[in-house]
Amino acid sequence: MLAIKIAMLFTGIGSSFHIYKKDTLKVFSVFNKILHGQKINGIEPSKDGLNMFIYGGKHFTIVKRLNGQFESIDICLGSTVCDDWLHSGTWLSDTEVGLLSAHNVVQIWDVSGRPILRSETIGRDNSILYSGLLLPLLDDVLVLSGTVSSQIIISRCKKEQPLHYLLGHKGVIFSISCCLKKKIIVTTSDDRSVRIWSVYNSIENYAKSQYWDDANVTCLHELYGHSARVMRSCISEKYIVSVGEDGCICYWDYNGTLLKRLSNHQNAPIWSVSIDKDHLVTGGGDGSIILHPLTAITSFSETETVKISEGNPKKIFFTARRNAVILKESGNLIYYNIFEKEEIEFDLKHDNTYILISLSLCKQIIAVADICGNLTIFIENCKGTPTMTSIISTKLPIDKILSMDWAGNRHLVICSGSGDIYVIASKDNEVEIISKHLLPDCKERWLTAVALNIDNMLVVGDRCGNIHFYTKEELNPFKTLNKVHGRYGPTSIRIKSNEVITTGRDSTLKCFSLLLNNGVYNIKLTSTKDVGFPWVEKCIGHDDLFCGFHEQLFIITNVRNYAKLIEVSCGGGHRSWDVVRYINYLNFKCDEMIKFMYLKNSDINIMTFKLNKIVSKNIIKGTHTKEINCLKCYIPKIDNSIVLFISGGEDTTLRISTSSKEVNFQDEVILKHLSSVKTFKTFPINTNKLLVVSGGGRAQICIKTINLSKDGDKIIIKVEEFVDFLVKGTDKERKGDKTWRNCTIDFDPETRIMDLEIVEIDKNIFNIYTGCSDAFIRIFQFKYEEESFKQLGQVKYHKTCILKTHCIKYFDQTILITCSTIGEICFWDVTDPNTSSEMENFLVLTSNKSGINCIATRIISEHKVIIATGGDDNAIHIQLLDIQNKDFKTAKITQSWSSDQFHSSQITGILIIDDFFISTSIDQRITVFKTIDENNDLKFVAQKMTDIADVQGMDFIQRSEYSATVCVYGKGLEVLSVPLLGRY
């Protein structure tokens, strides 16, 4: 829940109350767990702003500011528990609040001291409510109820019969907003519509009961702008704003016109929204809170149209001084001064009308060439009256030039029809060929993008989707990456330090590490980002903004928070266009600007955007948009003040995030899988390098390394991708050359990797054991030094899906444990790696009555091992194994303990920390147990609530003398301290 008041932003995050300063976006105060496990759904400041009425779930509380300051508040009364879920609340006076429950019951509480229930009004229509709104009148309380039966009921507490029924929605009513001054009601529903209702009465005083008794309520507008359920709406002086499950924000005027539609929160659902006269703030399903300026609607852009004197423009570009270079259809070149509306025309005198034009990276040097090899180079002056001058005009000894691109500001890369690549540079008033290379055969043999590093290594992309790497001396490429961006090839290539960054028409931004070792370049894919639209063209300015096209829309998006900044309907990317990002200095102020120029119907259109008026700012940065399935916390040795979070989720991403006292939680690297990431495990290769093996849907296994280094106070994370393997191959590989008539049927095509374990069998040689949904244990081997990966075999014992795998290193034995959906625990000896494909289980136990979701072990002595499991039967099972002669195959159960009394739903996480057991569950409880005597009897110690919904697991971070710090994950993640002292 969000609220904006008096330059402060009040937020409810789980059951905690956070206050932020709106100008600095910094956290001002945090008050944890004020609703004791209930999520905050509403925050209502009093008229004087001294008190806060906070409610959620079945609880509410009053927060009082001490001495008029937000640094200290009084919540000594704690939270009050009601007997029903609360949908709406409001202040009725300085000492009274009203609450609307899910069964259409209005309660009025006296909160002058300890809360006392004064009255309770049960609605005549005892319908289940999905939303509601209470409005205080002079002599009563107005109740607007959004029902499950698609209608809105308007009633008063002191009148038995409802006043009005608003009909028209075709789904559940999710929110109701009302502006008494505007005399409108706004409702949203799961029928994807927003409705604006007019309230009319000849009586002017809308705060009286009679006004609403005799009012005429009609639907003015039925609005559709969302592609999914509309969750919330809010009303300001000028706008109506709606947000929905599609992650979109729609701005409407009071006439029902859609002014602007923006997608945010990584397209996750938006659950909460609030507005004041300057800003809109939203909270989304990715865990982020974003502040949006309302100037993005009114001051969106300045638009102008440029007309040239004669002829039609063919290609257009911005120059360094933000003027335009225009190539006409006749073949002549125009330098157009945008500010003075003056043009200078140059007669190129080329032999052919097939003319190529390219601007250098600094946009000051312009190269023009025709297919016959005639080359003219112009340069724009830096000072004085803007103009450009021809500095080189020559005939190149190249036949049939098909592509020409600048590699930086000095080198021009030209490709001929025969696939010859020439790198040329200026020498006095002539040009010289620096190096010559050969492009491998392909269907359309020319270049789409080029880059050159300081060591004269050339990187080019061709029209078949390949990227080639050349040294200056070699004719042929020393490295080729195939189909990097599909079949169209990269749209841009940048080299930054030791990294190659490419974009393409497959909606992705890819990064490759470029390391020189003993004179040999080692090139590896480090990350892939889905930008969110299909045609990604290039980076604008810094590393955060990227532009491209989605059908007819030109889009600029911020890849750091996945927010779309600009959408322009220009007709698509197949026309001539250009964009530039710059700083504008005016009246001792500097504003960051973007100019976009495009050609449409022979008109040159220029749009100017001021970024500080349209750019949204993150108050809290988001992460996974869906449930987190697996998570591992890691404190790097190079900086123990930082916690590294590696997580995989249902949103098909594997994310590496950091958190410290100075920096809030933020994603550093996002890696993609084809389907959901079910599991991953890590193995330290050295102090600053982690091996990460992940698996999930589509039976996909990915292997990466995370390299950590420091640059001052900042930790640098680099990822290298080694393996991307599908156990059952791609659809095309499974089908082969067979027709659909002759294809064999795979009865389990959607096999999933449910869990896996990594065992180092030799220096940097690893066996990977995967538990799969088809009940097979599949064994793979990865050799880090050789970068080789192969499948060793597969074994099947279980008859149902394998949910969990776990390894124990017991003296010189390596024991693999597998757990299934019927409560079986199997033990396998994998000490000898050569017998992996022939391994047999030596011990089978049955603990839980159904699926085992989590397992933990601890070796407590030479002869004793504890195994703890939690499952779908809501029970925790702990078994003590006795082992003879240091041979795990002799293990037998000597003692067991189980309980289903401490959790009310499935157990999803369990840890063993010294003598303590910590469990967590879907019910959002964290329970601590401890062994207290020689008989290993277990007693309850403490229990704590987490705000994370749909808990999937828990990981240990660190321990102090009296507590343990753990991270609980599911629909989000929460780091909290669990007490290890209690009544035992």
Residue 575 lies in a domain: yes
Residues 6+ apart with CB under 8 A from 49: 5, 6, 65
- Whether 550 is covered by a domain: the verdict is yes
Q: Count of CB atoms within 10 A of residue 783's CB? A: 14
CA distance 725 to 352: 50
pLDDT at res. 202: 85
Per the domain annotation, does 537 fall within a domain?
yes
Answer whether residue 44 is part of any domain: no
533: three-class secondary structure by DSSP:
coil
DSSP state of 697: G
Q: How far apart are CA 510 and CA 500, in angstroms?
A: 8
Answer yes or no: are the C-beta atoms of 80 and 109 closer than 8 Å. yes
Q: Indicate whether 70 pLDDT > 90.
A: no
Arithmetic mean of pLDDT, 830-855: 88
Task: Select the highest-mean-pLDDT range: 1-10, 255-264, 767-776.
Answer: 767-776
Mean pLDDT of 949-970: 94
pLDDT cut 70: percent of the chain above it: 95
Give the pLDDT score at 285. 93
Beta bridge pairs of residue 935: none
- Residue 73 pLDDT greater than 80, yes or no: no
Q: Is residue 896 part of a domain?
A: no
Q: Render the burial of 258-288: b for 16+ CB within 10 Å, e for the rest.
A: ebbbbbbbbbbbbbbbbbbeebbbbbbbbbb
Backbone angles phi, psi at 522, to 5 degrees: -110, 115
Q: What CA–CA distances, in Å, run from 89 to 9, 17, 212, 560? A: 19, 17, 20, 37
- β-pairing, 289-293 vs 302-306, is unpaired
Q: Which residues touch 798 (CB under 8 Å, ≥6 apart)?
A: 775, 818, 820, 824, 826
pLDDT digits (tens, 9 = 90+) for 99-154: 999 999 999 999 888 889 999 999 888 789 999 999 999 989 999 999 999 999 99
pLDDT tens per residue, range 759-816: 999 999 999 999 999 999 999 999 999 999 999 999 999 999 999 999 999 999 999 9
Residue at 160 is within a domain: no
Q: Are 315 and 333 in contact (CB under 8 A)?
A: no
Residue 563 maps to a domain: yes
**Count of C-beta atoms within a 10 Å radius of residue 495:** 20
8 Å CB contact between 193 and 231:
no
Q: Which two tokens stand for residue 374?
A: 């005639």
CB 672 within 8 A of CB 530: yes
Q: Which residue bears the tokens 């779930």?
A: 57
Q: What is the pLDDT of residues 701-749, one digit of tens each?
A: 999 999 999 888 888 898 988 999 999 877 666 656 666 666 666 656 6
For the stretch 381-408, pLDDT in tens is: 999 899 999 999 999 988 889 999 999 8
Cα four-point dihedral sign 8, 13, 17, 18: negative
Indicate the pLDDT class of residue 984, thresholds 50, 70 and 90: very low
Neighbours of 192 (CB within 10 A): 19
The dihedral sign for the CA sequence 559, 564, 566, 572: positive
Strands 333-337 and 420-427: unpaired
Residue 156 near residue 169, CB atoms below 8 Å: no
What's the whole-number average pLDDT of the chain? 90
Percent of the chain with pLDDT over 90: 63
Q: What's the sign of the alpha-carbon dihedral 827, 829, 834, 839?
A: negative
Torsion of CA 754, 642, 917, 864, to 10 degrees: 80
Mean pLDDT throughout 211-218?
93
Residue 571's domain spans which residues?
531-622
State the total domains in the chain.
1
Q: With contact defined as beta carbons under 8 Å apart, do 372 and 417 qualify?
A: no
Cβ contact 696:676 at 8 Å: yes
Is 973 a member of any domain?
Answer: no
DSSP H helices in 184-294: 209-213
pLDDT at 735: 59
Decide: 706 and 656 in contact? Cβ < 8 Å: yes
